[in-house]
Amino acid sequence: MIEFLLKAFDRLPISPSRREVINLPNTITLIRIGFIPALFLLLLAPGPRASLILTAFFILVSFTDLLDGYIARKYKIVTKMGKFLDPIADKLVVNTAMLLMIPIGRIPAWIVAITIIRDIAVDGMRSMASAEGLVIDASRLGKQKTLCQIFAVSALMIHYPLFGINAHVVGMAVLYVALVLTVVSGADYFVKFYRGAIRERKDEA
């Protein structure tokens, strides 16, 4: 299936310069972003069955992150646009889900606020670095943070007891782990930015 899609993209009349943007991994990332409107169903405070269905779609879409990353690395389609767009897509999907669960009482607003402030700060820093020709790749801590968030948000989406397990309690426990990783990974990005800026100044000197 992947080979078929790759050949289909190869047949598209796209200039080499535009393939930096229009390629299979980036398209999968954009599909992930396209799922966001469906998350607004959370505002309806869905019942147990609807919550479970929505969670299943959320997990499926969230883990396309592994698919586009695998394709990009295996078939050597790693691009600057992909490195920038991929973590943005993860944050948009997860943060939107978190925001929409505040009004229905499934997640504390202060945790969402810290998460979004951190993401805005990191994205702003990465944009500044990119403007200076410095690319800061997604860190391992950032990936671990995202995985914890996906697990936590999934459990909080389910909300209701499942197989005798209190999904909400489990989700909140993992969410606090994700919060710690959010802060630590944010600090890690700023350290990388600082070191990169210092190294660039030395090279210029």
Which pLDDT belongs to residue 17?
60
Which residues have a Cβ under 8 Å from the Cβ of 93 and sit 6 or more positions away?
32, 33, 35, 36, 39, 58, 61, 62
Q: How far is CA 38 from the centre of its chain?
A: 16
Identify the bridge partners of residue 162 per DSSP, sorted by sequence position.
Answer: 165
> Per residue in 37-84, pLDDT tens?
999 999 998 999 999 999 999 999 888 878 887 787 777 777 777 777
What burial class does residue 15 get, using C-beta atoms within 10 Å of its C-beta: 0-12 exposed, 13-18 middle, 19+ buried? Answer: exposed
> Per residue in 103-114, pLDDT tens?
999 999 999 999
Domain formed by 2-204, architecture:
Up-down Bundle (1.20)
What burial class does residue 92 get, using C-beta atoms within 10 Å of its C-beta: 0-12 exposed, 13-18 middle, 19+ buried? Answer: middle
Which pLDDT belongs to residue 47?
92
Range name among 16-20, 121-125, 141-145, 147-151 with the lowest pLDDT average: 16-20
Q: What is the mean pLDDT of the chain?
A: 83
Say which residue the tokens 């200039």 belong to. Answer: 15
Which residues have a Cβ under 8 Å from the Cβ of 5 and sit 6 or more positions away?
24
Ordered by start, the domain boundaries in the chain are 2-204
Which pLDDT belongs to residue 69?
77
pLDDT-derived band at 15 (thresholds 50, 70, 90) equals low
- CA-nearest of 96, 76, 86, 78 to 35 is 96
Which pLDDT belongs to residue 8?
67
